[in-house]
């Protein structure tokens, strides 16, 4: 049987990478961290949890990648600890927190909604954008009111994040909120709201070979269509994401 031989070879390779995680050569260590974060085999369970509590944010962000791929209760708890305990006044630390927020958002564990929602208010860092996306995935229709509040934010980028996240809730209430965002004063927000509506409903109200409607006309067209179709509408789930480590 050649299976035992392959298993032995696999364990030997993994042991090599495990040793390289502690190698003083930063290039060797970096390569091992990349393996841990992008493959996350159960073999690295203990090492990943250890690195999640390291002082070096470079090591922690790779551990976050591994924890996200493992997606086990102990790993999700470690992600929550990273979000709530890492210092917030350093760009590298902010990146670690944002990646941990992203990983929890992709975990499917709505028990962490209460932890994540306050970070949507961190508008001066990446945390607001990542949090809106994460809570939209975890909370679906239940978080539409929280996201809708950001449509009144004076910063256009916050309103843009909100219309992006609203699409991910796959909620009828999100359609109402997005129709309201079609009158936003920022071109980018209006365009994102329009594209989010098309992606969410699988429908476009604009007619082919006709001049594009004004913002008010577009809003009126959507409201008219939605009144007729809301009851039986089958909203479109967002496409699956491609896993990546950056």
Look at residue 211 in the predicted model and tell me its pLDDT: 85
Look at residue 1 in the predicted model and tell me its pLDDT: 43
Look at residue 19 in the predicted model and tell me its pLDDT: 73
Residue 173 in any domain: the answer is: no
Residue 22 in any domain: the answer is: yes
Low-confidence ranges of the chain (pLDDT < 70): 1-14, 17, 32, 40-41, 241-246
Residue 166 in any domain: the answer is: no
Which CATH number do you get for residue 89?
1.25.10.10
Look at residue 3 in the predicted model and tell me its pLDDT: 41
CA-CA distance, 212 to 91, in Å (whole number)?
42
Look at residue 177 in the predicted model and tell me its pLDDT: 97
Look at residue 245 in the predicted model and tell me its pLDDT: 42
pLDDT tens digits, 17-27: 677 777 787 77
Residue 95 in any domain: the answer is: yes
Look at residue 8 in the predicted model and tell me its pLDDT: 56
Query: What is the pTM for the complete model shown?
Result: 0.84
| Structural domain total, the chain | 1
Residue 214 in any domain: the answer is: no
Residue 130 in any domain: the answer is: no
Residue 141 in any domain: the answer is: no
**φ, ψ at 109 (rounded to 5°):** -95, 95
Residue 96 in any domain: the answer is: yes
């Amino acid at each position: 049987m050649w299976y035992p031989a392959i298993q032995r070879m696999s364990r030997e390779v993994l042991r090599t990478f495990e040793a390289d995680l502690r190698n003083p050569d930063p290039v060797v260590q970096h390569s091992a961290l990349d393996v841990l974060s992008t493959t996350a085999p159960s073999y690295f369970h203990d090492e990943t949890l250890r690195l999640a509590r390291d002082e070096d944010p470079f090591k922690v962000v790779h551990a976050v990648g591994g924890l996200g791929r493992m997606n086990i209760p102990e790993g999700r708890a470690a992600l929550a600890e990273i979000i709530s305990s890492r210092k917030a006044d350093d760009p590298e630390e902010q990146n670690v927190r944002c990646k941990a927020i992203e990983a929890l958002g992709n975990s499917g564990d709505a028990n962490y909604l209460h932890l994540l929602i306050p970070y949507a208010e961190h508008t001066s860092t990446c945390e607001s954008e990542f949090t809106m996306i994460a809570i939209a995935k975890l909370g679906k229709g239940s978080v539409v009111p929280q996201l809708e509040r950001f449509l009144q934010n004076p910063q256009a980028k916050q309103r843009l994040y909100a219309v992006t996240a609203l699409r991910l809730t796959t909620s009828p209430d999100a359609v109402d909120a997005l129709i309201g965002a079609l009158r936003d004063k920022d071109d980018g927000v209006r365009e994102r709201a329009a594209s989010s509506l098309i992606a969410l409903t699988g429908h476009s109200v604009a007619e082919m070979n006709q001049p594009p409607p004004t913002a008010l006309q577009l809003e009126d067209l959507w409201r008219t269509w939605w009144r007729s179709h809301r009851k039986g509408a089958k909203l479109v789930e967002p496409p699956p994401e491609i896993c990546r480590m950056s």
